[in-house]
Amino acid sequence: MKACGLVVEYNPFHNGHVLHARKSREESGADIVVAVMSGPFLQRGEPALVSKWTRAAMALQGGIDLVLELPYAFATQKAEIFARGSISLLEYLGCDSFCFGSEDGRIEPFITAHKVMSDRSVPFDAAVKLAMDAGNSYPASAAKAYQTIVKDEGALDLTKPNNILGKEYVSAALTNGFSIRPYTIRRVAAGYHDTDLSNDSIASATGIRKAIQEEGGKGLDSVSNYVPRPTRTGLEHYLSSYRALHDWEMYWPLLKYRILSSSLSELAEVYEIEEGIEHRIKQMAQTAATFSQFMTGLKTKRYTWTRLQRMCVHILTHTSKEDMAHTHLPTYFRLLGMNGKGREYLHNVKKDLPLPLISKLSAYQKQDIEMDVRAAQVYALGLSGPSQAALMKREYEAPLILT
């Protein structure tokens, strides 16, 4: 069986994701589609709207055959490390191909960008440093540097979020000599950051979340045209079961406590906190009443909103530089769910898998999964009372989602 891999967050699963899964299957000629999905905290440094179990169930009912969790050590990282972890898992699982959505829609510019940055790394790095010294963030500096070196109007636009991730996916495969083959399809209708719900059936996850959260989780009617029925049902069931949808504001009291109860030297040991930013973090936390106020005061030109949010995630989950120091490639598969095709595929490849396959957390006692466990526990702390206990229990005792 041929498998095509997708790197996803499904926050939440929507009609654009249905199209992505279908087009990926068609473009690659795959028999099954595998999704490597972020867990409770996401690449942009945000808590997922609903649990990974609910999102996995949505995906399995929307055209995905097998769902694995991308470990916290890769899911909450800059694009390069995020891509390295996810593409490695797909390669190790035996996927023949992977397919990502992009603003460009052609695979050749991504391969060219990788070759240019590899073959001309010295002038590229120098151009990046020059742009950063001028006060630009790393992503903006990298985009400027690439345009400076290539000087081609048809060059890959690295200011676009999906192009940035796509380039790193391709680089992860080529740099590591993987056999997995890259494909891309053009994103349609809604851009990554679009907040409008103007298209008849496709909107960005950002826009869908905004519409839902504006009414405290009661705006599900406004997004019905943009999500499959199982997503609508899944969101309704989550609200009924846990009484909340997750966002940063619900974690603000916990984050504020962690910041104010930590010394400056303790904050400096948190992963991604560098260049004395701990002083500013401490200062802003003392006066901010909400997470939004805190972030607005914390934001500078040098640090992107995303990077600052990732710092906050690592403070919240007590993730240190030492915790991340030994993380280079994934060391296990965490299985969340599958359908009949997914089960058949796993049966065929299981004996050749180079990493242990975890189907139940309580059966795996090794230390390398500790960050995932901690992240899941902290994520559950956003809820209260019986809901909190129920979600923590789900992490340890939940059977796989089978459809």
Give binding residues as ranges.
7-20, 101, 162, 187
Q: Give the Cα separation of 129 and 134 in Å (integer).
A: 9
Burial of 221 from C-beta contacts in 10 A (0-12 / 13-18 / 19+):
exposed
DSSP state of 357: E
DSSP state of 41: B
Which amino acid, residue 261? Answer: S
Binding site for ATP, by residue number, is: 7-20, 101, 162, 187
Phi-psi region of 380 (alpha: psi -120 to 50; beta: other; left: phi over 0): alpha
Tokens of 201: 């059936």
Q: Give the Cα separation of 105 and 162 in Å (integer).
A: 10
Q: Give the Cα separation of 4 and 28 in Å (integer).
A: 7
100 within 8 A of 163, measured Cβ to Cβ: no
Q: Give the Cα separation of 209 and 212 in Å (integer).
A: 5
Alpha helices in 199-263 (DSSP H): 205-213, 229-242, 252-260
Alpha helices in 288-337 (DSSP H): 291-298, 305-316, 321-325
Q: Give the Cα separation of 119 and 256 in Å (integer).
A: 45
Handedness of CA 140, 144, 147, 153 (dihedral sign): positive
SS3 288: coil
The β-bridge relationship of strands 66-70 and 32-38 is parallel
The β-bridge relationship of strands 66-70 and 333-338 is antiparallel
DSSP state of 350: G
Q: Cα angle vertex 143, ends 125, 110, to 5°? A: 95
Let me know how long the chain is: 403
Which amino acid, residue 356? Answer: P
SS3 364: coil
